[in-house]
Amino acid sequence: MIEFHKMHGLGNDFIIVDCRDGAAVPSADIIMAMGDRKTGIGCDQFIILSAPKSADADIFMQIVNAADGIEVEACGNATRCVASLLMQETGQDAIVVETVAGLLHCAAENAGKTQIAVNMGAATHDDTKTFFGRDGYVVSIGNPHIIFFVDDVMAIDLEDVGPQIETDDVFPNRTNVEFAQIIGDDEIRMRVWERGEGITQACGTGACATGAAAIKAGLGANPVTIVMDGGALTISEKGGDIYMSGPASYVCRGVYAPSDA
């Protein structure tokens, strides 16, 4: 049996399993079975918590795609959820989440510890790459992204072009794909095709990468609101680092007991 928490950030949802007590890390098969929306519990990513490797961190977070069982480097929405969960547990207003991409400093922005700000670190900007006649900004925020600024995000057939760009040979580790529309100086509408997952309601690192690209290119204010299918995040650049602010929502806790266990 596997005890779990279910949380989401703007509809980007997670199963969170705490292995700090030495519980076995679920296999890729179990992760995909639990993540299946028809026959399991359902989630975009599966989050495994363990003791931190760094003395400067409070917890280590491993992120695995529920669709394919492949580990990924970063997830902004999951970081807020894990930070909120640990703050509720400890009573702290600030914690450090460790991932394979580095240390993420998180702070509560309300008394309930459900609105979380995260320093995502510096964004790395690469050369633009062209797909379907559009130039995309290549940005890393712990994981890879390409952002296309378009006149109308709803006119893009994301389900068609997303996987083509994700798996193109120019991205040896695949990439997340964002299409963004400038609504106003301080507001951008964005839709995302997540690497290994497909279309999701929101992507924290995608919002960060889009905000970083817009701020650097002079297309958006600092801070800027990134509006996604599931809701909005506030993205800002301070001292070279990208900050993300948004909600973390608790759904339920439960026990998964597969019939063949």
- Could you say which of 75, 81, 106, 208 is catalytic? 75
Cβ–Cβ under 8 Å, residues 76 and 208: yes
76 closest CA partner among 24, 19, 120? 120
Q: Cis before residue 144, ω within 30 degrees of 0?
A: no
Q: Which helix (DSSP H) or strand (DSSP E) does residue 220 occupy?
A: none
Note if 203 is an active site residue.
Answer: yes
Note if 75 is an active site residue.
Answer: yes
HEC per residue, 62-130: EEEECCCCCEECCCHHHHHHHHHHHHHHHCCCEEEEEECCEEEEEEECCCCCCEEEEECCCCEECCCEE
58 closest CA partner among 76, 78, 82? 82
Taken in order 30, 36, 41, 43, the sign of the CA dihedral is positive
117 closest CA partner among 248, 231, 250, 249? 248
Residues 6+ apart with CB under 8 A from 42: 13, 35, 36, 66
Q: Is 46 exposed, middle or buried (0-12, 13-18, 19+ CB in 10 A)?
A: buried
List active site positions. Answer: 75, 203
